[in-house]
A = this chain, B = another copy of it.
Amino acid sequence: MPLYTHDQLFQQFNKALDAVYYPANPAELYEPINYALSVGGKRLRPVFMLLACQAFGGDVERTMAAAIALETFHNYTLLHDDLMDNADVRRGKPTVHKRWDANVAILSGDAMLELAYGRMYQALSQADGIAETARQSAFRLFLETTLQVSEGQQYDMNFEHRLDVTLNEYFEMIRLKTGVLIACALEMGALVGGATREQADKLYQYGLQIGRAFQLQDDYLDVFGDAKVFGKSIGGDIHEGKKTYLLISALSRSSAEQRLEIADRLTDHDADPQAKIDWFTQLYKSLGVPEACAQEMLSCYYEADKLLASVKMDDTGRQLIKDFADSLVHRVL
């Protein structure tokens, strides 16, 4: 079995996704699904799944349908999250509820979720040469994970109205909202590829660490990143009052007086957006928050590397996973 780089798998995945057939009717249901899935992105989860699969000797072609199901699920979460957050743009294109309307976004998102389960069950049933227990474990993990992602989104929404979110609560929220799906992608890929329960579990733990590192990086780059490189406008999280690692750390490092000012400024919706972003950026810097965030992120990467090194697996397969993770790390500080 040839081993592919993440770039090659990314290409193969997008090609397979383009070839997916959708019913012509009702067009109002399937056009937005096709639109949402073709808007692009890093294809993080399917590429991790395929990398994990090949690392245990699995067939990438045979796992492609499961990877498409996983990406279908992920894009359903983006579609409904964008509606709930009232976000106008996703990857430079209008979101589904902006291009169509809220009802189209609700129903096509629902159908996308239904399609994801159908595709996943079908993919796992049809792929030859997978042990029945691996098939069932993989599908069960997918079912559990999808519900956890909704729990994570709910916690994220709850945090909007709170100023007393702790770092522990934050880490639990991002574990559910981001970590478990990346971990699920890796474990499913491993199981389908033929990994043992122990190997699959370790890759899951690796996925959680990597997911945490990515989220910390996202939080960091939202304020301290280069808009051109990052592809999003800077300060969006501050504008929306998101409870990021930066904000929670800043609150925990502030005096009671400072916390009152932070609360006032966070809820001041008449403030000039750029002035607000500048004020929070300065606050973070004065409290040493960017360094703390970078430190936390690096420690996650370090833990992740240790976990990956501890899995009994093909060394080239392992290196290709590591190459992909490294390619996603931006230089911070």
> Which residues of A does B touch, CB under 8 Å?
25-26, 28-29, 80, 83-84, 102-103, 106-107, 109-111, 113-115, 117-118, 121, 125, 136, 139-140, 143-144, 146-147, 150-151, 153-155, 157-158
Contacts and interface: CB of A to CB of B under 8 A. Distances in A.
Nearest to A173: B26
Contacts of A26: 151, 154-155, 158
A121 B102 CA distance: 31
A118 B149 CA distance: 14
Contacts of A102: 102
Given A28-B157, A110-B113, A117-B143, 9 more contacts: A26-B155, A28-B154, A29-B150, A29-B154, A107-B157, A111-B154, A113-B114, A118-B144, A121-B140
30 contacts: A26-B154, A28-B154, A29-B154, A80-B110, A84-B106, A84-B107, A102-B102, A103-B157, A106-B106, A107-B153, A107-B154, A107-B157, A110-B110, A110-B113, A110-B150, A111-B147, A111-B150, A111-B151, A111-B154, A113-B113, A113-B114, A114-B143, A114-B146, A114-B150, A117-B146, A118-B143, A118-B144, A118-B146, A118-B147, A121-B140
A109 B111 CA distance: 13
Given A26-B155, A117-B117, A121-B143, A150 B106 contact: no
Contact of A114 (B29, B136, B147, B157): B147
A154 B140 CA distance: 30
Contact of A150 (B83, B107, B136): B107
A121 B144 CA distance: 11
A169 to B, nearest CB: 11
Nearest to A28: B154
A74 to B, nearest CB: 14
A240 to B, nearest CB: 14
A128 to B, nearest CB: 16
A95 B139 CA distance: 33
B118 A106 contact: no
Contacts of A146: 114, 117-118
Nearest to A120: B143
A119 to B, nearest CB: 9
